[in-house]
Copies of this chain bind each other. A is one copy, B any other.
Amino acid sequence: MAIRIGIIGYGNLARGVESEIRRCPDMKLCGVFTRRDPATVSIKTPDVPVYSVNNLKDKTADFDVMINCGGSATDLPVTTPEYAGLYNVIDSFDTHATIPEHFAKVDAAAKANGKTAIISAGWDPGMFSLMRLYANCVLPEGQDYTFWGKGVSQGHSDAIRRVPGVKNGKQYTIPVPAALDAVRSGSNPELTTRQKHTRECFVVAEEGADLAAIEKTIKEMPNYFADYDTTVNFISEEEFNANHARLNHGGFVFRTGTTGFDGENKHVIEYSLKLDSNPEFTASVILAYARAVFKLSSKGDFGCKTVFDIAPALLSPLSGEELRAHLL
């Protein structure tokens, strides 16, 4: 019996789940829930129904795990606790600062209703968090470094598009090669925000817009750009559509540390991702953890979990025997 998966929402991440579930032989997409009129939402997979989110409470017998594909800013903090009262649920909540609060709400709802939930699954938080945890445990004396990119930052791209005179824009976060090299050398450098990443913007300006003013506004924007070396490139709409349509991303997690009676030995742990499609890779991670949600729920292990609480074997469709024989 395949694990019956539902998707809530139908944006980039949800479409990634729809695409990647076809690579999970033990899962079946059984429905998509939308806030829009379901008649107006056409999905790619044949014979899978689209429902209104208003019908979520009527379908609890038909799904094993719901994947909540809402946004972290305002949607997930409200909806994941709500859905955890009805379904086993997983989300990719990525506002690091409010994870403890989100965890507490989802945990209470899930426990009260005999459901299992995982929050903050994806690559950061998610795979990168795991790498930080493992590396901290195996090198207790050391230093952590996380770099993002080269890749598209949705938040920074949105910020560019809010600047007057900007028709379209995309922002790439780029790790500074010299900083990566310094970390790899094991020299434990102290790096400022500016030394770690640069920001590269591609902007389509409205006709007659003041380009110098746009560039100045972007470069001086507090929080988003002011602390970085930022370059602004004005390009045509054709070039924008031809070369900047992808949602690639990636990054690096390092821990460098020392061992030995006199701290005389250095070690460098490096994990990196180079992703053509941020939403599809995130969806793939979520699906692996959805499998764990199902297994935990099946044995009555309820409440909210994160990637830290999940034994890796739970992510695999293979048995313990198979994993030990082929992957250990």
Contact partners of A269 in chain B: CB under 8 A: 271-273
Band of interface residues on A: 35 or more
Give A272 Cβ to nearest chain B Cβ, in Å: 5
A24: chain B residues within 8 A (beta carbon): 140
Give A125 Cβ to nearest chain B Cβ, in Å: 5
Please, which residues of chain B bring their CB within 8 A of the CB of A133? 312-313, 315-316, 323, 327
Is A44 on the interface with B (CB-CB < 8 A)? yes
Contact of A99 among B96, B277, B328 (CB under 8 A): B328
Does any Cβ of B come within 8 Å of A321's Cβ?
yes
Chain B nearest CB, measured from A45 CB (Å): 10
A214 within 8 A of B: no
Give A185's nearest chain B residue, CB to CB.
B274
Given contacts A273-B267, A281-B138, A307-B312, contact A261 B99 (CB under 8 A): no
Binds B, one of A15-23, A71-79, A205-213, A219-227: A15-23
Q: In the complex, what distance in Å separates the CA atom of A311 from the CA atom of B295? A: 14
Chain B positions within 8 Å of A132 at CB level: 327
User: Across the two chains, which residue of chain B brings its CB closest to A131?
Assistant: B271
How far, in angstroms, from A290 to B132 measured CA to CA in the complex?
19
Does any Cβ of B come within 8 Å of A129's Cβ?
yes
- Is A37 in contact with chain B by the CB < 8 A criterion? no
Residues of A contacting B: mostly: helix
Q: Are B19 and A324 in contact (CB under 8 A)?
A: no
Q: Does A285 contact B (CB under 8 A)?
A: yes
B280 touches A259 (CB 8 A): yes
Q: In the complex, which residues 271-293 of chain A have their Cβ closer than 8 Å to any Cβ of chain B?
A: 271-277, 280-281, 283-285, 288, 291
Kindly state whether residue A163 has any CB partner on chain B within 8 Å. Answer: no
A141 within 8 A of B: yes
A184 to B268 alpha-carbon distance, docked (Å): 19
Whose C-beta in chain B lies nearest to the C-beta of A271?
Answer: B271
**Does the CB pair A136–B19 fall under 8 Å?**
no
Least Cβ distance of A326 to chain B in Å?
Answer: 9
Q: Does A306 contact B (CB under 8 A)?
A: yes
List of B residues within 8 angstroms of A260 by Cβ: 19, 277, 280
Task: Return 17 A-B CB contacts under 8 Å, by A number.
Answer: A16-B259, A99-B325, A99-B328, A120-B328, A129-B327, A131-B271, A138-B281, A184-B274, A259-B283, A260-B280, A264-B276, A267-B281, A269-B271, A269-B273, A270-B272, A308-B327, A310-B311
Beyond A132-B327, A137-B315, A269-B272: 5 further Cβ-contacts under 8 Å?
A19-B260, A120-B328, A133-B327, A259-B276, A270-B273
